Amino acid sequence: MTDDTRNNGGATEGRDEKGRFAPGNPGRPRGARHKATLAVEAILDGEAEALTRRAIELAMEGDTTALRLCLERIAPPRKDAPIRFDLPAIARATDAAGAMSALLASVAAGDVTPQEAAGVAGLIEAWRKTKETSDLESRIAVLEAARQKS
């Protein structure tokens, strides 16, 4: 067995001499499922209702693990929630400073948690960078056009 076939499980089809996928090879098709997942689904097929009923029965009998499992399905933990606070309009990159000040004031007042503020601050910063890059690109285009004329 060569090093190439040993490193990629013996599969060489669609790969270059270093064992990497060759250009144009899409790899696993989108939506394709792993064999183990398909096998588990085949075993459980038709048993979902009975398994769910048994989990509920165990939860009702006081099994805390089954109870937690059932509750997580009924009301999954919220990962993110909308927040409300006053944020000034942001039209120019320099307006980001005012938005950050308003955000910090909301944290200080207890209206926004520091973690929520970090997420919003990341959005403000991403917007600022995008706006700044866009403005710079426009300015460079104007300068290049003027240079071409001269």
Residue 85 has pLDDT above 80, yes or no: yes
Residue of 31, 25, 30 whose CA lies nearest to 13: 25
The overall average pLDDT reported for the chain is: 85
Helix (H, G, I), strand (E, B) or coil at 86: coil
At residue 5, the pLDDT reads 44
At residue 8, the pLDDT reads 44
Give the number of other Cβ atoms within 10 Å of residue 100's Cβ: 17
At residue 57, the pLDDT reads 93
The band of 150, judged by pLDDT with boundaries at 50, 70 and 90, is confident
In a 10 Å sphere around its CB, with 0-12 CB exposed, 13-18 middle and 19+ buried, how is residue 93 labelled? Answer: middle
At residue 25, the pLDDT reads 61
Tens of pLDDT, residue by residue over 110-123, are: 999 999 999 999 99
At residue 131, the pLDDT reads 94
At residue 47, the pLDDT reads 86
**Mean pLDDT computed over 132-141:** 95
Tens of pLDDT, residue by residue over 8-67, are: 455 566 677 887 777 766 667 777 788 888 888 888 888 888 888 999 999 999 999 999
Distance CA 62, CA 56 (A): 10
Query: Taking each helix axis from N to C terminus, what angle separates 64-74 and 48-60, rounded to the nearest 10 degrees?
Result: 120
